[in-house]
C-alpha cells in the first residue's frame, strides 16, 4: 500500500522517483539561461556584433567643431578610436573649467604625437547657446591647446543628449539641473574594444596617462 508521500506524487511515479526528480529540477532551472544564451548565439541578428555595437547606443548627431566643421558623433569622433572626453563651460563662473583644461593640456603634452593619432581628445560644451565655434576657438587658443584635441558644440538638445549618453550626470535630479555642480571627470574609452573608464579630471596628468594607456591597451 502506498504511503502518504505517494499521494503528492504524480500518478505513475513512486515517491522515490518523485523525490529524485525534485532534486534535479534546480539544476535544470539553472541551465535554462545557459541554453537560452547559446540558442541566441545561434540565431542570426541576436549576437552583439564585434564592431559597431556602440553605434546602437551613441546617436550619430551632427555637431560643430571650433573651426565650424560639421562632424558626426559616432562615425567621425568615436568609431574605431581611443578617446578622452570631458564637458565644460568656456565661460566657467567657478573657475573650475580653466583649471581642468590646463591639467588636460599637461596630459596632452605627455601624449605628444600620440594625440590625434592614437588618442583623440574631445571637449563638449555645456552651454551651446553661448559657446559658438568662434568662442570655442578662442578658448582653445587661449589655453594653447595642440592638435588632436577638438572642442564641440551643437544644438542644446543634441548636446544634452551627448551629456546623458556619456554619463556626465548626477543621480540627484536637482543637482543635475544646477550648472555650477557639473561633474568634473574625464571619460576615457576604447570604442572598438568596448573599454571605458572615468577618472577625476584634476588627478595628476601622469596618472591620467597611466589610466588612458590601460584603456587603450598600451603596455607600460
pLDDT at 60: 93
pLDDT at 219: 77
Nearest to 205 by CA among 186, 184, 219, 178: 186
Residues 6-35 have pLDDT tens digits of 445 555 555 555 444 445 444 434 444 433
pLDDT at 38: 38
Domains in the chain: boundaries: 4-42, 53-216
d(CA 13, CA 17): 6
Counting as low any pLDDT under 70, the low residues of the chain are 1-53, 55, 179-182, 220
CATH topology of domain 53-216: Glutaredoxin (3.40.30)
pLDDT at 86: 96
The C-alpha angle 104, 59, 57, rounded to 5 degrees, equals: 90
Amino acid at each position: 500500500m502506498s504511503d502518504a508521500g505517494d499521494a503528492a506524487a504524480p500518478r505513475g511515479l513512486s515517491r522515490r522517483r518523485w523525490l529524485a526528480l525534485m532534486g534535479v529540477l534546480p539544476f535544470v532551472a539553472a541551465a535554462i539561461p545557459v541554453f537560452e544564451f547559446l540558442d541566441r548565439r545561434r540565431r542570426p541578428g541576436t549576437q552583439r556584433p564585434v564592431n559597431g555595437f556602440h553605434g546602437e547606443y551613441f546617436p550619430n548627431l551632427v555637431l560643430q567643431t571650433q573651426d565650424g566643421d560639421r562632424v558626426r558623433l559616432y562615425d567621425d569622433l568615436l568609431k574605431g578610436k581611443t578617446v578622452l572626453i570631458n564637458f565644460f563651460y568656456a565661460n566657467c563662473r567657478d573657475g573650475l573649467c580653466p583649471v581642468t583644461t590646463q591639467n588636460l593640456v599637461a596630459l596632452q603634452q605627455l601624449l605628444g604625437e600620440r594625440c590625434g593619432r592614437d588618442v583623440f581628445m574631445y571637449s563638449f560644451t555645456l552651454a551651446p547657446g553661448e559657446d559658438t565655434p568662434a568662442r570655442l576657438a578662442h578658448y582653445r587658443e587661449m589655453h594653447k591647446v595642440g592638435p588632436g584635441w577638438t572642442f564641440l558644440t551643437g544644438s542644446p538638445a543634441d548636446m544634452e543628449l551627448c551629456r546623458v549618453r556619456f554619463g556626465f550626470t548626477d543621480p540627484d535630479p536637482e543637482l543635475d539641473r544646477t550648472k555650477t555642480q557639473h561633474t568634473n571627470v574625464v571619460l576615457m574609452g576604447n570604442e572598438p574594444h568596448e573599454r571605458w573608464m572615468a577618472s577625476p579630471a584634476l588627478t595628476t596628468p601622469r596618472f591620467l596617462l597611466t589610466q588612458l594607456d590601460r584603456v587603450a591597451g598600451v603596455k607600460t
